[in-house]
Structure 1
């Protein structure tokens, strides 16, 4: 597990650095000259924990994501809007990939799968 490291000389944060020639990773203080060899190669770890309500909001927000593909070949069963974003993901409890759609109507956000 990666945690913040602090200088044993001046208590400032140690920053990861590399020595390309020796192919080693170490931590260095930007305040004093203290350096120490890294005990593992993980310098950053981002763990995200969502509640059920947050996941629902994330799915509704995908309609505004400009990087997702859009289609006008489907109609929303909830509001009859003619545009949706779509993406592929693994459905809970199923094997293989499933095609998910999210209505682009900002007042709707209905989601369904194919």
Structure 2
């Protein structure tokens, strides 16, 4: 890293050779499990104050009228987005 010029560099550990990096991305974490598997959705998202809430979708399990919701991709990145809901009462998850 060249902090003066604000660029990312590849640097050899054995000599002083440095090369400008092609991208500023240092690390990519690709999660390969399917978000569509509702078991991977953490039910504690109901306490996240940054997530939007809705009273328009009744929980299919307990009939409570409030749920948090968020958008996620199904399967892989090249497929469509889907809304996921989590009941604020019983923490049931559905799409």
The TM-score with structure 1 as length reference comes to 0.51
CA distance in 2, matches of 1:26, 1:92: 34
Which consecutive residues of structure 2, in runs of 5 or more, have no partner in the other structure? 11-15
CA distance in 2, matches of 1:24, 1:76: 50
| Larger Rg, first or second structure (1 or 2) | 1
Structure 1 pair 96–46 and aligned structure 2 pair: CA distance change class (3 A): closer
State the 1:60 CA deviation: 1.1
CA distance in 1, matches of 2:28, 2:9: 20
**Does residue 19 of structure 1 match 2:1?**
no
The TM-score with structure 2 as length reference comes to 0.59
The aligned counterpart of 1:109 is 91
Asked if the contact 2:7–2:24 (Cα under 8 Å) also holds between the matched residues in 1, the reply is no
CA distance in 1, matches of 2:25, 2:73: 30
CA distance in 2, matches of 1:104, 1:60: 9
The aligned counterpart of 1:79 is 62
Q: Aligned pairs, how many?
A: 86
Which consecutive residues of structure 1, in runs of 5 or more, have no partner in the other structure? 1-15, 28-34
